[in-house]
């Protein structure tokens, strides 16, 4: 009888122990929260996702995603594992991070160093040398063109970029195919393919391949290929500027006039800025081809505009395209002006 009671007690103890253990596992752990304290005394609670270009990104339950200038931050305390990519490109991992008085403390790694030594907090895999980041856009545009032809047109544009720490592939294609009063009055397209190999920052070398057709400018086909040297002159969200200078061999095939083949210098300038805020972008792109055998012959294509995000990764933009060709054939204007309102999908 005593043995039976003893076994019963042990069984009950085991059952309650297992039930308690299972209940403990079933109960969700209290969420770990990060804390950001601002110079004005505000205390923000959420999850610090990254620090990049002097801006801290905080995911919150009360206001979604917040972007905070680090100059307004007094201290940061995180509770989740972090990865720090430093300016010297070394990588440090830790279970938490503390920032105070311009110093970064990683308790587990037993390290502390100035905040300016941090390039990115929680970098993307490609920034750590793991694969490529893929970005791009695809859109259509409603445009009015006033120049050689006065048309209302439907344009298309596709751009895709694959970027790693070591190199970058760029693909761009755009064109238009339009009719007015039942007659075709625009038939052109352009393709650009580029490969960049990054040297010691901020320089890189690259190879350009370019193909273009414009029926109504008597251009049956223009194609060129050549190397270039590029430099990232400035790279901040408030202002980004890069330029490229190279040379190439150009072939121009015309429908009416005589074909041309020549050596040319070519250049590219790309600039952008988020100065207006709201995730909008001011941008300026220019590509030029200068005939080195006839220095009066120059081709300059310039685009500048303003883009801003819509819903569901959609983007809208208003832009102006200026196409100048000093060697245009007779009865064709040197300058074409196109005004575009476009909507597209970005990724």
CA proximity to 321, closest of 299, 337, 343, 345? 337
Q: How many residues in the chain?
A: 347
pLDDT score at 143: 61
Q: Which residues of the chain have pLDDT under 70?
A: 1-32, 143-151, 181-182
Cα–Cα distance measured from residue 231 to residue 203, given in angstroms and rounded to the nearest whole number: 4
Nearest Cα residue to 210 out of 184, 191, 227: 191
pTM for this structure? 0.79
pLDDT of residue 181: 67
DSSP for 150-161 reads -EEEEEEEEEEE
Fold type of domain 133-346: Porin (2.40.160)
Query: pLDDT at position 75, please?
Result: 92
Structure tokens that stand for 50 in this block: 């990254």
Residue 187: predicted pLDDT? 84
DSSP 33: -
Neighbours of 118 (CB within 10 A): 20
């Amino acid at each position: 009888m005593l043995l039976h009671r003893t076994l019963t007690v042990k069984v009950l103890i085991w059952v309650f122990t297992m039930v308690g253990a299972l209940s403990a596992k079933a109960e969700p752990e209290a969420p770990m929260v990060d804390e950001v304290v601002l110079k004005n005394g505000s205390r923000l609670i959420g999850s610090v996702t990254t620090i990049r270009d002097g801006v801290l990104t905080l995911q919150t339950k009360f206001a979604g995603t917040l972007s905070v200038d680090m100059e307004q931050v007094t201290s940061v305390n995180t509770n989740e594992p972090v990865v720090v990519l430093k300016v010297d490109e070394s990588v440090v991992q830790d279970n938490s991070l503390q920032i105070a008085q311009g110093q970064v403390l990683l308790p587990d790694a037993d390290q502390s160093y100035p905040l300016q030594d941090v390039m990115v907090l929680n970098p993307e895999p490609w920034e750590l040398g793991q694969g490529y980041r893929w970005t791009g856009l695809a859109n259509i545009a409603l445009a009015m063109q006033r120049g050689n032809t006065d048309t209302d047109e439907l344009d298309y544009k596709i751009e895709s970029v694959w970027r790693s720490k070591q190199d970058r592939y760029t693909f761009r294609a755009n064109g238009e195919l339009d009719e007015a009063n039942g007659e075709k009055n625009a038939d052109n397209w352009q393709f650009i393919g580029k490969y960049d190999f990054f040297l010691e920052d901020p320089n890189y070398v690259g190879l350009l391949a370019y193909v273009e057709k414009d029926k109504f400018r008597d251009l049956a086909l223009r194609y060129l290929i050549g190397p270039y040297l590029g430099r990232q002159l400035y790279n901040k969200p408030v202002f980004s500027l890069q330029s490229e200078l190279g040379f190439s061999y150009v072939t121009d095939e015309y429908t009416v006039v005589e074909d041309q083949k020549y050596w040319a210098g070519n250049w590219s300038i790309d600039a952008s800025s988020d100065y207006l805020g709201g995730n909008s972008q001011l941008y300026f792109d220019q590509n030029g081809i200068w005939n080195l055998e006839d220095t009066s012959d120059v081709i300059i294509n310039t685009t500048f505009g303003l883009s801003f995000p819509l819903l569901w990764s959609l983007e809208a933009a208003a832009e102006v395209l200026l196409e100048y060709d000093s060697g245009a054939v007779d009865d064709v204007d040197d300058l074409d002006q196109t005004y575009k309102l476009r909507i597209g999908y970005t990724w």
